[in-house]
Amino acid sequence: MAQRAVWLISHEPGTPLCGTVRFSRRYPTVEKRARVFNGASYVPIPEDGPFLKALLFELRLLDDDKDFVESRDSCSRINKTSIYGLLIGGEELWPVVAFLKNDIIYACVPLVEQTLSPRPPLISVSGVSQGFEFLFGIQDFLYSGQKNDSELNTKLSQLPDLLLQACPFGTLLDANLKNSLDNTNFASVTQPQKQPAWKTGTYKGKPQVSISITEKVKSMQYDKQGIADTWQVVGTVTCKCDLEGIMPNVTISLNLPTNGSPLQDILVHPCVTSLDSAILTSSSIDAMDDSAFSGPYKFPLTPPLESFNLCYYTSQVPVPPILGFYQLKEEEVQLRITINLKLHESVKNNFEFCEAHIPFYNRGPITHLEYKTSFGQLEVFREKSLLIWIIGQKFPKSMEISLSGTVTFGAKSHEKQPFDPICIGETAYLKLHFRILDYTLTGCYADQHSVQVFASGKPKISAYRKLISSDYYIWNSKAPAPVTYGSLLL
């Protein structure tokens, strides 16, 4: 297992190249091995410029990259692995491990110890998992305690010396670069205990475990007889375990209140060592009944060094958090709008923010607006033909708010006004954006006292949770035909 090269690229929209290579390192000894292993299918590591352009194109991060490209965007090229093939000089460089985080693209090219034609399955390329571990380790080093750009630049300047110790000759010895910074000894490559593939080093420092639950709620509401509203909750549990030892064991439990909605379709990280069969068989395809498994959901695991997503899940909650009614009617040269929103009584009435975005597509700029609102403030973006209803951090005691008014538009300019092929005539929507901290719609929470850690030292255990809106649409009830979520993806 070795890496041929590694890059750190800052994503800079609006600049000529849309990005800058902040750091790169090539390993000539590994490159010689790649030439031998790959034979006639060998593709050399390119210079930074061509690599930057090809990677930004593949990730769709170029400013002028708006057209459909069959070789990249067709259904046969749907990528779910963060592993890409880059076309450079008529040849394809594969595999390239790359992901974007905090406006930095982390990328590396693992060594494939066999021919690339035909392309081998990813499971057989051991350097891929090490590549992810390597990049996650660099990410943790750059952003642990980093407060401003000067600190980031300082850490970037330290990388060449640190990688001499942590990854000599392209072979990763320790993904925790803070160990190298503190001049600590690296874990021996001949450990008496076998380590999992995603963990290639050990942690030294104060023990702590952090658990974060993020639920995203999607909704499509029509307020039409015979057309059912839809909503869905998708949850992600993210963990960071800073624990000493080669293979510390941890058990994390997720719990639900008495009236909580059971978790379904649970997918877990490979570091989870065992699972209750009831967790694996709980599916959203099956009809909900009183016998559905409602926890506790226990996950025994051997955690990797970097932050990782412990599990994903869905849940069939009984009602969406905010019920809405939206009516838009054309009256000669103006539109009359009526909006009613109601926060469900079971939802925590304490938002970090809550806004309703009301776009008007395929029309000119807003020239005149008359409105009346029972709560919150209304901001007008005339050139963008957009209204933003700022609801704030709390709904009133009645849990219901309303907005009504008339909007007049000027002459349409195709260059400036937003266009949408779906929102024609009275087909329109409003989109809710909100976030609630220390709350989940399912009621799911991580009990700090039930976390079991089998490692030296008593760790500090932190648990957080939040609910975020995602694709939360309320459609005009006067629209001639309903718009489904699937049609938005076309």
Residue 190 lies in a domain: no
C-alpha atoms less than 13 angstroms from C-alpha of 260 in its C-beta half-sphere: 20
In a domain, 490, yes or no: no
Give yes or no for residue 74 having a pLDDT over 60: no
Same domain, yes or no: 387 and 462: no
- CATH label of the domain that carries residue 152: 3.30.450.60
The pLDDT of 74-80, averaged and rounded, is 57
Residue 63's pLDDT is what?
Answer: 61
The residue type of 259 is: N
Beta bridge partners of 242: 208
Q: Which two tokens stand for residue 404?
A: 């009504």
Please give the average per-residue pLDDT across 43-71, as a whole number: 80
* Domain C-terminal end among 420, 436, 452: 436
Q: Do 412 and 451 fall within a single domain?
A: no
On the question of pLDDT at 473 being above 80, the answer is: yes
What contacts 293, CB < 8 A, 6 or more positions away?
Answer: 262, 276, 278, 279, 282
pLDDT for 204 equals 84
CA distances from 51 to 13, 78, 107 (A): 17, 21, 10
Final residue of a structural domain among 162, 180, 198: 180
Confirm whether 334 is domain-assigned.
Answer: yes
SS3 string of the chain?
CCEEEEEEEEECCCCCCCEEEEEEEECHHHHHHHHHHHHHHCCCCCCHHHHHHHHHHHCCCCCCCCCCCHHHHCHHHCCCCCEEEEEECCEEEEEEEEEEECCEEEEEEECCCCCCCCCCCHHHCHHHHHHHHHHHHHHHHHHCCCCCHHHHHHHHHHHHHHHHHHCHHHCCCCCCHHHHHCCCCCCCCCCCCCCCCCCCCCECCCCEEEEEEEEEEEEEECCECCECCEEEEEEEEEEEEECECCCCEEEEEEECCCCCCCCEEEEECCCECCCCHHHHHCCCCCCCCCCCCCCCEEEEECCCCCCEEEEEEEECCCCCCEEEEEEEEEECCEEEEEEEEEECCCCCCCCCEEEEEEECCCCCCEEEEEEEECCCEEEEECCCCEEEEECCCCCCCCCEEEEEEEEEECCCCCCCCCCCCCCCCCCCEEEEEEEEECCCCCCCEECHHHCEEECCCCCEEEEEEEEEEEEEEEEECCCCCCCCHHHHCC
Residues 265 and 216 in one domain: yes
In the chain, pLDDT over 70 holds for what percent of residues? 87
Residue whose entry in the numeric block shows the structure tokens 């069969």: 277
Query: The whole model's pTM is what?
Result: 0.60
Has residue 191 been placed in a domain? Answer: no
- Whether the per-residue pLDDT at 485 is higher than 50: the answer is no
CA dihedral (215, 131, 460, 238) in degrees, to 10, reads 10
318 bridge partner residues: none
Query: Is pLDDT above 50 for 231?
Result: yes
Structural domain includes residue 89: yes
Work out the pLDDT band at 226, boundaries 50, 70, 90. Answer: confident
Check pLDDT > 80 for residue 282: no
Both 303 and 352 in a single domain? Answer: no
Region 447-455: mean pLDDT is 85
Rounded-to-integer distance, Cα 318 and Cα 320, Å: 7
> What is the residue-averaged pLDDT of the chain?
85
Residue 457 inside a domain? The answer is: yes
Instruction: State mean pLDDT over 304-326.
Output: 92
Q: 430 and 447: one domain?
A: no
In a domain, 72, yes or no: yes
CATH number at residue 365: 2.60.40.1170
Residues 358 and 448 in one domain: no
pLDDT attached to residue 263: 92
Based on the domain organization, do 451 and 381 belong to the same domain?
no
Burial 321-342 (b: 16+ CB within 10 A, else e): bbbbbbbbeeeeebbebbbbbe
Q: Which of 196, 224, 150, 301 is nearest to 478 (CA)?
A: 224
Nearest to 404 by CA among 480, 340, 334: 340
Let me know the angle formed at the C-alpha of 356 by 350 and 360, rounded to the nearest 5 degrees: 175
Do 151 and 40 lie in a common domain?
yes
pLDDT at 13 over 50: yes
Tokens encoding 46: 């390119």
Tell whether 344 and 244 lie within a shared domain: no
Boundary of a domain, candidates 390, 411, 436: 436
Output the six-digit token pair for 147. Answer: 């407060």
Do residue 22 and residue 154 come from a single domain?
yes
Out of 84-98, 231-245, 266-280, which region has the weakest mean confidence (pLDDT)?
266-280
Amino acid, single-letter form, for residue 257? P
Q: Report if residue 172 sits inside a domain.
A: yes
Distance CA 98, CA 119 (A): 19
- 347-406 confidence digits (pLDDT tens): 999 999 999 999 998 888 899 999 999 999 999 998 888 999 999 999 999 999 999 999
Structural domains of the chain, count:
3
List the domain range (segments joined by +) for residue 108.
1-180
Same-domain check for residues 216 and 327: no
Q: Are residues 272 and 361 located together in one domain of the fold?
A: no
- Rounded to the nearest 10 degrees, how much is the dihedral formed by the CA atoms of 43, 45, 50, 54? 60
Strands 429-437 and 460-475: antiparallel
Instruction: Give pLDDT, residue 75.
Output: 56
Between 30 and 486, the higher pLDDT residue: 30
Q: Which of 203, 264, 210, 199 is nearest to 238 (CA)?
A: 210
